[in-house]
Chains A and B, each alone.
Chain A
Amino acid sequence: MRKLIQTLLDHIGARLPLPFRVMHQQFLLRVVDLEALSIEADIPSFLGQFAGILMMLSFVHGLGVLWFPPPPSQTWQYEQARVSDVLLVIGLCSVLMWDTTFPDKRDVMVLAPLPVFPRTILMAKLAASATVLGIAVIALNCGSSLGLSVVFGAPAGGLLGMLRFFLAYWFTMFAAAAFLYGAVLTIQGCAVLFLSRRMFLRVSAILQLAAFGVFLGVRFLQPSLTTHAEMTAPANHWLVVASPTFWFVALLNQLNDSSPSDLLWLAHRAWISLGIVAAGALTSLLLCYMRNMKKTVEDPDLEPGTGGRHWIPRLGGSLQNAIVIFCLRSIARSRQHRVALALYWSVVFAVALSWIRREISNPPEPIALDFIMSSFVMMSFAVLGLRGIFALPVSLQANWMLRVTQLQPTGQYVAATRRCLLLFGVVPIWTMVAALSLHLRPWPQTAQHLAFLALFGAVLVELCLVRFDKVPFTCSYLPGKTNIQAIFWGFAFILLALGLLLGTFEVDAFENPLNYALMMLCAFAAITALRTINSLHARSAVLYFEEQPPEVLTRLGLIFVPPAPKISDLPKSSQP
């Protein structure tokens, strides 16, 4: 996959003008935020791995559809799901690529003195975004498109029907992706044009998080309308009018010639909305590049003080307070870290939103395995995601200050990190699960589950601290250590299996107080043991700020170190 993407990029690149190529390469590097998700600092590798995950999902889906073909009555349900998935993935990509299409100060300062036209910069940025989005759409649909074309296209019109469905499907998916990204660009463009730069920078961060919430919320809270009757019911009229998912499902059916005539207006809505966002995005981008590029340089960097709104309660002793608040501010203010954490937390929010939807639509229900398992998965992703972003540095060059002020033993720094993981990982998830549990009965069992969940969170925290002799957000990492695909699938399988195992045991334990006590005791024992191990290790550990590369890298094979002789090879007089 990596080679394929590299060849593709080289092939396309060779036909384009050099300045465009150079800038496209640079912007692509920044679009995918390799600082946050480093894979050998290599763009094709990253895109390849990203595409690999989506392709795997797509092929699993496609094979599932072929293996267990759904009846034709479920066509709309499947189409809606695919459109929703595309909108979600493109939405998350937009969040990941936030602001990168618009000119920033760095671009202006570096590129404006060079003989490069603003339109070339704009085209290179758009091409970089399109590369990532295109890969996402293709990877997400390559398997599904084949499966769905065979299942839903072939029965209606044979090979031609299959081909027609296939083409309609791809066009719709690209149109949906273009619509969503265009809408994001239009909103951002309006913010750039109508707000002062200072205000824009503030609003942009809020918009990014809001967009993230909206994309997830729509995907997991939006009801599925699977029949013609449901789509045309007056009660659902507001939903089909407001939700782009239904517009693009209608578009797919219009192109496939399978749409009922009374739903064609929805397809028209898709065309009109596409036109509006395309015009909006292009206009705002052009205006930004023509009008705002020079203004960007003129705008002062310095934001005025904002009085006493910066008060934060002390969160522990002197050192702990410093580290915990540093972490909080790094998460809150660093786009790179926020986005990386959002990727992990998207799983948490997806599960939470599914439960909220269930809570709204169903009466109170008994606590069951699926809820217990979900809460373990949420806790695991939240804590391990936090630990993951702790390893990404905020500013390596500024670390000298932490080294000069290292006046406490390493154990104190580990304790501060523990507090961060508990405060920003365990406590929010536990609170969220407690709120979701209000729906569950009987309450004593819910309380038992919450008590165990707290201990489970504490075990995860201690596991995260094993050999973590560094201050969060300060240690350099070696390129190539992160392997997003392995980590993603590792997380998905291990955590789901762990959640299932623990959940099954816990459900049984509710019926047997002795088993429950044993389970709690095991959790306590695990916490104690891990905490002791971490404390003992911290006593002799040295806080480090830079990963040491393997010797083979630093020597580059230029120095030959002879292997140690075997004892039998030594002269007898030297042998012990």
Chain B
Amino acid sequence: MDDGKDDDDMDAVLNKNSEDAGRRKGKSAANKSLITRNLRLAYSEVQNEGVPDHLLDILNRIPDGEGKKS
């Protein structure tokens, strides 16, 4: 009778599938986190550069005292 052995084999396969699924999920979460971290690093790097004067000059042409009609 191989029933017991078959059950053990089936358990082993199920356990492996479960471990594999867990590992895939963990890896996916780690990759997602790594991408987000680098996206934010790259983004904040530009944000912290300081704004070039020629861009500020465009905005400084806007008069401060004149109200926009709303």
Chains A and B bind each other: no
